Each structure stands twice: as structure tokens, then as C-alpha cells.
């Protein structure tokens, strides 16, 4: 039968036309199925230019956070004219080591660091209005952008979203060793056309309404090995002492504080001051001198020669106690104000 061949069916001997009815029903169902898919893909935003961050060098001893930035471009299209499109982005963590201390900070893991004591470098990222990109939780505001014009009547718009990244200062870091950190992250974005609310800090407007558009970006940072003296002017003050007290060996105590990148080895040395003689440092007042000694620790008899240490987490420091003791004098010193200057040298 000619009509059966037209539909691609095998020739049948039956005179009934039920085969043709079945064929028409099949085509009708297929057409209906295609029609239900069309609206879901009508308005879309896709990434046409992913974010590329330049490498960053970080020196925690400078006291200023290191920053970097990038731009990601979305192409938003619609067969129906639109005025505005809102794109809201958030971070998708793929590893527990990427999770920061709050909903707006994230970590970079240093390669080859131990699982028991990992090196984690903390950072945060904000949009052009200084609003942080969060974790995407419904209770957490996140960064984004709205682009368009009233009565713009667009079918296509390029949306350039700024990403400003700052590595947190040392007091918000912990176990950061020197060396290279290189990690890849996922940035997810939801979008909405002609939303009645152009702000991404209202999650009900855009977050979760459509499947997120996910892109990846990589951060590379080099943390410089460093140490610094937290208190560059350490005062050992023996106070007011009488002639008898001076001959008995008065004492004074202080601390020398050292901050370093985590587990950086360092050495702290002291010179002999300005008036060293006969194995003693000496304080001077006019032409008169009072000899003294410096000891490592309080109440010890270990002379300070060279003290070694290893950097604590960068949000803290090592404190090295130092004690000064006046040497017993055979003759009472003359009255006056005595002082000396000792230079501290930190090497790492």
C-alpha cells in the first residue's frame, strides 16, 4: 500500500487504517514533547569569557593585604525583548579545605602540605559595590550585577561581572607557610530577566530559580618567607635604685616578640651595646658606668648569645623573655641616669 510506505512502515495485508492513526499519534506526541522544552531554554546566560586572575605575591610582613582582580563575561540572550538582566554569583566549594572560617571567606591549600597540619591561605572576593560573593546559602547575601536600561528592548546583552579578590591580613590567617599556592575554584551564577528586584542580596529573586551557570577559575599565589620584630623598641628599665641595691644586682625584664610565616626558622641575636668592656655590657652616665648582663628567659643564669625559633601561625607571634641584671659593684656608682643601646638582629 502506497500510503504505508510513505510513513516508513512495513507493508501490511490488513485493509484497516489503524496503522496510519498510530503513526499520526506518534508524530503528535513528539511535537508536544518538543514544545514543552522550548520555553526552558529560551532565555539563557552563558559564560563567553571566564575569569583569569594574575598571579599574586604576598608578603605578610608588610601589613597590607595583597589584592588581585578579574572579569567574567556572560552573554545573555532572549527571543523576547527584555530591559534588564540580573546575574548573581556565589562560590561552590569542592573540597573541605576550600571552606573558610565564615560564609564569605575561602581557603587555598598548599600542595604537599600534610593533612594533619595543612597550609591554608585565606581570601575573600567582592563585586564592584564591595559586596562579598558568599557560599550561595539562602540566608547569605552574595555579589552580582544588574545590566540594562529602562525600555531598552534587548534581545542580547553582554554582562561583565567584576571580581575583586583580597587575601586576608595576617591577623585573619592561621597556618600559612611560605611557598606557592595553586587552587581551582567553581563560580556559580543564577540569572533572571526583568526581575522586579535588581539586588542579589535578596536570594528569593534569583538564587535557585534556574540551574546555575558554573565556570572555573584558578588562583596562584606565592607567599614570601618572612619574619619581623613586633616590638622594635624593647625597654629594660631597672627603675630607681640606690647605691646599695646597685651593688646587690637589681633585675629588669621584658619580652622580644617575633612574627614569621608559619614554621620559618629564625635566629635572634643581640650585640654588646655601646660600652662593652671586660666581658660586660655597660650603661653610661657621663663618665661613669654600671656593668650588666643579659639573660635568655626570666630568672635564669643562661647568658643571651643567640636564640633560635620557628614561626608560629601568622596570626600570633613568639615571645622571647629577656632579663637584665646589674653586676655586683665593689664601689657604689655615682648618681645619675644610666643607659645603653643594644641592637637586636633577626635572621631567617
User: Per residue, what are the HEC states of 52-95?
Assistant: CCCCEEECHHHCCCCEEEEEEEEEEEEEEEECEEEEEEEEECCC
Do 69 and 160 contact (CB within 8 A), yes or no?
A: no
Q: Compute CA distances 309 → 220, 232, 285, whole Å.
A: 29, 17, 35
User: Which SS3 state, helix, strand or coil, does residue 225 take?
Assistant: coil
User: Which SS3 state, helix, strand or coil, does residue 48 take?
Assistant: strand
Per-residue pLDDT of the chain (348 residues; tens, 9 = 90+): 443 333 332 232 333 333 332 333 333 333 333 333 334 458 999 999 999 999 999 999 998 889 999 999 999 999 999 999 988 888 988 888 898 888 889 999 998 888 899 999 999 999 998 988 888 765 555 788 888 876 678 999 999 999 999 999 999 999 999 999 999 999 999 888 987 777 776 655 545 566 889 999 999 999 999 999 999 899 999 988 877 666 677 899 999 999 999 999 999 999 999 999 999 999 999 999 999 999 998 888 889 989 999 999 999 999 999 999 998 877 788 899 999 999 999 999
Same fold, 42-223 and 227-347: yes
Q: Does domain 227-347 have CATH number 2.60.40.1090?
A: yes
Q: What is the CATH number of domain 42-223?
A: 2.60.40
Please list, in sequence order, all residues whose beta carbon lies within 8 angstroms of the beta carbon of residue 139, skipping any fewer than 6 positions away: 203
Is this model's pTM higher than 0.85 or not? no
**Cα 222 to Cα 346: distance, rounded to the nearest angstrom:** 23
Q: Report the pLDDT value the prediction gives residue 322, as an integer from 0 to 100.
A: 96
**Cα 46 to Cα 61: distance, rounded to the nearest angstrom:** 41
Q: Report the pLDDT value the prediction gives residue 139, as an integer from 0 to 100.
A: 52
The domain locations on the chain are 42-223, 227-347
- Cell 529602562 locates to 150
Which residues share a beta bridge with 259? Answer: 228
Amino acid at each position: 500500500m502506497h500510503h504505508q510506505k510513505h510513513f516508513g512502515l512495513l507493508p501490511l495485508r490488513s485493509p484497516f487504517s489503524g496503522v496510519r492513526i498510530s503513526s499520526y499519534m506518534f508524530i503528535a506526541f513528539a511535537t508536544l514533547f518538543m514544545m514543552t522544552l522550548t520555553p526552558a531554554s529560551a532565555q539563557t546566560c552563558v559564560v563567553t569569557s571566564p575569569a583569569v586572575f594574575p598571579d599574586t605575591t604576598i608578603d605578610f610582613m608588610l601589613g597590607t593585604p595583597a589584592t588581585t582582580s578579574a572579569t567574567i563575561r556572560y552573554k545573555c540572550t532572549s527571543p523576547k525583548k527584555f530591559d534588564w538582566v540580573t546575574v548573581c554569583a556565589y562560590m561552590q566549594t569542592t573540597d573541605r579545605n576550600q571552606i573558610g572560617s565564615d560564609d564569605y571567606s575561602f581557603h587555598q591549600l598548599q600542595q604537599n602540605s600534610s593533612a594533619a597540619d595543612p597550609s591554608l591561605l585565606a581570601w575573600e572576593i567582592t563585586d564592584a559595590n564591595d559586596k562579598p560573593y558568599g557560599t550561595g546559602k539562602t540566608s547569605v547575601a552574595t555579589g552580582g550585577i544588574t545590566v540594562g536600561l529602562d525600555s531598552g528592548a534587548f534581545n542580547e546583552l553582554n554582562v561583565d561581572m567584576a571580581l575583586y579578590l583580597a587575601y586576608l591580613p595576617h591577623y585573619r590567617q592561621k597556618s600559612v607557610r611560605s611557598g606557592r599556592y595553586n587552587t581551582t575554584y567553581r563560580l556559580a551564577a543564577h540569572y533572571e530577566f526583568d526581575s522586579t528586584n535588581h539586588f542579589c542580596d535578596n536570594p528569593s529573586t534569583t538564587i535557585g530559580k534556574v540551574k546555575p551557570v558554573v565556570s572555573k577559575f584558578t588562583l596562584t599565589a606565592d607567599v614570601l618567607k618572612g619574619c619581623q620584630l613586633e616590638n622594635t623598641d624593647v625597654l629594660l628599665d631597672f627603675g630607681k635604685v640606690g647605691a646599695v641595691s646597685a651593688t646587690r644586682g637589681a633585675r629588669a625584664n621584658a619580652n622580644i616578640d617575633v612574627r614569621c610565616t608559619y614554621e620559618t626558622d629564625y635566629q635572634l641575636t643581640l650585640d654588646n651595646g655601646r660600652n662593652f668592656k671586660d666581658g660586660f655590657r655597660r650603661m653610661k652616665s657621663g663618665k661613669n658606668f654600671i656593668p650588666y648582663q643579659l639573660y635568655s628567659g626570666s630568672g635564669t643564669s643562661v647568658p643571651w648569645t643567640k636564640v633560635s625559633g620557628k614561626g608560629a601561625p601568622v596570626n600570633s607571634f613568639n615571645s622571647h623573655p629577656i632579663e637584665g641584671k646589674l653586676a655586683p659593684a665593689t664601689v657604689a656608682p655615682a648618681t645619675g641616669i644610666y643607659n645603653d643601646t643594644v641592637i637586636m638582629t633577626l635572621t631567617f
